[in-house]
Amino acid sequence: MLLFVGAVLLSSTRSLAAQSATLTIGSAADAFPAGPFGQGTDASIAMGQTFVRPADAACALTCYLQGFSFWLGNSQDLAQNPESLQFRAYLAVWAGDRIAATAPLFASEVFSGPSGASQRYDFAASNLMIETGLQYVAFLSTVGFALPGDPTTSDFDIVFGDPADFPAGGWVYTNRGSVLDDLSSTPWDLAGDIPELQARFEARFTTAPVSHDVPEPAAALLLASGLLALVLAAKRRA
């Protein structure tokens, strides 16, 4: 029985004490579809949002990105065969009009869809250090996937607002390129040239790295007590 309890306690997880901050741009009420995003004639192979380290108390000393979100849709006006769309999410340093010529800081697993309007996609990007003085871009892209015979696209939710509310970022996209290296060697078609346009976007940060698979203090104490009991029982049998 004690061995079972120990196994359960070892599986408990916790996060290091950390303050959190969330950058939220737009909402369901003010979002509208742009695009098409995906593969096909005139489709954008990459769309995203640029941003800098939040000016929030949680990121005053150190700042770690834990994840971000975008919204895609399948309206009749823009989307074509969206159920066949495949894409990845990326995070990279932004070099003004393209991603920096270094490996992306993050690449997600393959996602597909969407199957409805304004479908939220969440991407876990644990413990990515966000530096002061750099601009970053989180984006979705279909590069690396075979080009289908028919257009395969979705909508991409954006918002329109006062650029003073978003002084450090903007909605960006490109229609050019077939491999990831093209996104750093070729200027993007819209690199924040219209400051009123922003992606509907959410990014989640913490001031300290988040750790996993670490026993809680109370769990560790109980585990130690259980192991001690096993040792004493073994000695008595001996």
For residue 44, the 8-state DSSP code is: B
DSSP for residue 148:
P
DSSP code of residue 100: -
If 0-12 CB within 10 Å is exposed, 13-18 middle and 19+ buried, where does residue 165 land? exposed
Between β-strands 64-73 and 201-206, what pairing exists: parallel, antiparallel or unpaired? antiparallel
Average pLDDT, the chain: 84
Does 227 have pLDDT greater than 70?
Answer: no
pLDDT of 13 higher than 90: no
Q: How confident is the model at residue 150 (pLDDT cuts 50, 70, 90)?
A: confident
Asked if residue 15 has pLDDT above 50, the reply is: no
Supply the DSSP symbol for 78: T
Cα–Cα dist 32/158, whole Å: 6
pLDDT digits (tens, 9 = 90+) for 90-103: 999 999 999 999 99
Contact 175, 45 (CB under 8 A): yes
What is the Cα–Cα distance from 79 to 114, expressed in whole angstroms? 10
The string of pLDDT tens digits covering residues 34-92 is: 999 999 888 999 999 999 998 888 888 999 999 999 999 999 899 999 999 999 999 99
User: What's this model's pTM, rounded to 2 decimal places?
Assistant: 0.82
Rounded CA-CA distance 63/41 in Å is 40
Q: Is the pLDDT of residue 122 over 90?
A: yes
Please indicate whether residue 228 or residue 33 has the higher confidence score (pLDDT).
33
